Amino acid sequence: MELKILSVNDTIGLVHFNGLLSLDECAELIAIGRVSDAKPSVVVDGASDAAYETSGRCSTVVAPSADMYPLILEIRRRIELFSGISQENQEPLQILHYTRGGKYDIHYDAFSDGSPQLKNGGNRLLTVLLYLNDVEYGGWTQFPHIMANIVPNAGSGILFRNTDAQNRQLRESLHAGLPVTNGEKWIASIWIRENPYITPSADRVGQVVRRKL
């Protein structure tokens, strides 16, 4: 693995890198995404803890078990080395697929004060996004406060901070996945918590999913 740093922004510790995954590994993750039972992506409501589908987040998601796929275990290990934060603090790796028009409107990954989600390992300190394919056009990850636009390219990725020194939402970490204008977009995402991640119990997750358009 030969990691190259392409650019850095200090305000949110945004590191744009290349080479954490090989192109073959990107293709393998996409293949895992294709064979898995993908569901519409959801957004978690900070106050109520409900997860809901919304037109503001238009993609499908799978979180394949790391026990089934050695590559996913290996990626978790690499992210541990790269981020300097224990693997235990990582939420499960998600593979996201956006088709044409797919997007994720402007949002914070960190939870706001008082969110019940904070009980599952504290706040989301860091986000790692791995771009798995070249998008024909669009699908940039945009950070309006720091005026950064990241163009998704296979094998590249970004890491950034979501929280300030008090582990509260960092204003400048606001970001969006802009609409895919042409082609499709595959990414893998991992959120890294303050403390070891506690998986919410399956039946609770099942209960909170409801449709809100």
Ligand X SMILES: O=C(O)CCC(=O)C(=O)O
Which positions touch Fe ion (CB under 5 A)? 109
CA-based torsion, 67, 68, 71, 75: positive or negative: negative
Residue with tokens 């890491």: 159
The minimum distance between CB 174 and Fe ion, in angstroms, equals 9
Which partner in ligand X, Fe ion, none is near 21 (CB below 5 to 8 A by kind)? none
Between residues 109 and 172, which has the closer beta carbon with respect to Fe ion? 109
> What string marks each residue from 118 to 157 as x (binds ligand X by CB under 6 A) or -?
-----------x-----------x----------------
Between residues 25 and 109, which has the closer beta carbon with respect to Fe ion? 109
Residue with tokens 């449709």: 211
Q: CA–CA separation, 82 vs 95, rounded Å?
A: 20
Between residues 27 and 151, which has the closer beta carbon with respect to Fe ion? 151
Count, residues near ligand X per rule CB under 6 A = 8
Between residues 90 and 189, which has the closer beta carbon with respect to ligand X? 189
Q: CA–CA separation, 17 vs 71, rounded Å?
A: 19
Q: How far is CA 185 from CA 12, 43, 70, 98, 193, in A?
A: 24, 19, 23, 5, 25
Residue 172 within binding range of ligand X, rule CB under 6 A: no
Residue 114 makes CB contacts below 8 A (sequence gap 6+) with 46, 47
Which spans of this chain sit near ligand X (rule: CB under 6 A)? 104, 109, 129, 141, 175, 177, 187, 189
